[in-house]
Structure 1
């Protein structure tokens, strides 16, 4: 009788263990699907994106991110400031800008 009770007690543990293993397999499959979808989205994005190369001396406009938010500008406000000249190219696609009179902006932009 005691042996039968031990078998009955261990049976739910085995079922639970099998459920946990199946859950881990489902998580692994979901992770693989997520990685696959992210790669596909990157591939689609990279097809449409236009990479621009800027050099020192180029004249550019700077996006005014503070005014770009809804409610911060009116319909006819300009969302670009400038023109500016690129005075130095920094790493990670960052640039030191200066006004056309030579006055440099304090913070690099990208």
Structure 2
């Protein structure tokens, strides 16, 4: 292994003998030293912001801003509430309610729990038909088979679709 003063000493078989360079062509140490030696632009050329800064008026303006903070929060919460109201109205305009009546025939979506594993992905996605026996609350239906055997739990309307018999 070669020893070079001021550099990391890696074995020549395991890595570089100096730090990697950045996109600007300097290694991290050189970039840091260059950054320290650079003269900020504010020293030579002042900006309008620095010229117009007055410590007393700045503190006074900060106090005014803190006093108005509650009003700003109230306006922001009003805008959020208005936005949410508009989004709710837009959604409710476009939603289409589906209702089933007692006695309607429906198909039930096959879930992973009820799917026959031997059929694979080419198995049916809907099973049935089933008859609606009871409507408990909005979107929740109790079903029974055509033989009259009731299913153990209610099903949501998302997992049901109306069955149309061929004539």
Higher helix share: 1
Which TM-score bucket, shorter chain as reference? Answer: 0.5 to 0.7
Unaligned regions of 5+ residues in structure 2, if any? 1-58, 114-119, 157-167
Q: Say if 2:99 and 2:139, in contact at 8 Å, map to a contact too.
A: no
Residue 93 of structure 1 aligns with which residue? 139
Residue 106 of structure 2 aligns with which residue? 60
1:81 Cα offset (Å): 3.1
Name which one, 1 or 2, has greater alpha-carbon Rg: 2
Tell me which of 55, 58, 82 is aligned to 2:128: 82
Residue 35 of structure 1 aligns with which residue? 81
1:25 aligns with 2:66: no
Cα separation, 1, equivalents of 2:144 and 2:150: 4
**CA 1:88/1:66 → structure 2, altered by over 3 Å: closer, same or farther?**
same
Matched residue count: 92
**CA 1:35/1:61 → structure 2, altered by over 3 Å: closer, same or farther?**
farther
TM-score normalized by structure 2? 0.44
Residue 152 of structure 2 aligns with which residue? 106
**CA 1:78/1:35 → structure 2, altered by over 3 Å: closer, same or farther?**
farther
TM-score normalized by structure 1? 0.62
**CA 1:28/1:94 → structure 2, altered by over 3 Å: closer, same or farther?**
same
1:87 Cα offset (Å): 0.7
Q: Give the secondary-structure state (helix, strand or coil) at the position aligned to 1:103.
A: coil
Unaligned regions of 5+ residues in structure 1, if any? 1-10, 68-72
Cα separation, 2, equivalents of 1:89 and 1:66: 25
